A = this chain, B = another copy of it.
């Protein structure tokens, strides 16, 4: 089993490979990849070893080979996602995300405010939250994105899980509790900014 940290880096490497392929670069050394990914050569080699990739000591790693091995590991078969909470942040994600990743496609958005529903926003249809269960089942959605205010986060997660969602990305600034077997990732902009403020205060 490959660790989450490593997987995260593999996703990054994969995107870097896409760029390199566009630029017709054939080979990379671990120190180049480290440079591009703000990592260390040893880390890169270790990651690639974990991924079962082998390079050549004179030319480095074959870019196309890397890319296809990454695709293999990262299973780029698309999964559908539903977003709940069509506020500013939700809308930004709806507009930002399409075509950014081969792994995820946002297919529906939900809100409790009826003035925001039954429309198309950035190409994505919006529904009342009451329809969550139904839409998730009908369209085989497996991922949920929470961009609600914090008070609604937990209940939203609960509904998602009841509807059969397997993983949740939570943008609300509160931790959300999920049963074992459901993947939860929290991405808290407030904490990120606070961390930024804290560590920028003095040379660290």
Residues of A within 8 A of B (CB): 4, 7-8, 11-12, 15, 35-38, 74-75, 79, 81, 87-89, 91-93, 95-97, 100-101, 103-104, 142-143, 145, 166-169, 173-177, 181, 183, 185, 187-201, 203-204
Q: Which of A143, A145, A166 has the most chain B CB atoms closer than 10 A to its own CB?
A: A166
What's the nearest-Cβ distance from chain B to residue A18, in Å? 11
6 additional contacts, CB 8 Å, given A4-B195, A88-B92, A167-B199? A7-B195, A11-B195, A38-B175, A74-B198, A81-B196, A187-B192
Listed by A's residue number, 10 A-B pairs whose Cβ atoms lie within 8 Å are A7-B199, A11-B191, A38-B175, A88-B95, A91-B92, A97-B190, A101-B194, A104-B197, A167-B196, A185-B192
Q: Which 3 A-B pairs have the closest CB atoms?
A: A167-B200, A92-B92, A38-B175
Identical subunits present: 2
A93 to B190, CA, bound (A): 10
B177:A204 contact, CB within 8 angstroms: no
Q: With A142-B200, A189-B187 given, is the CB distance from A194 to B92 under 8 Å?
A: no
B104:A143 contact, CB within 8 angstroms: no
A8 to B196, CA, bound (A): 10
What's the nearest-Cβ distance from chain B to residue A201, in Å? 6
A191 to B75, CA, bound (A): 14
A74 to B189, CA, bound (A): 17
For A197, give the chain B residue with the smallest CB separation: B103
A36 to B173, CA, bound (A): 12
Which residues in B have their C-beta under 8 angstroms from that of A103? 193-194, 197-198
A173:B74 contact, CB within 8 angstroms: no
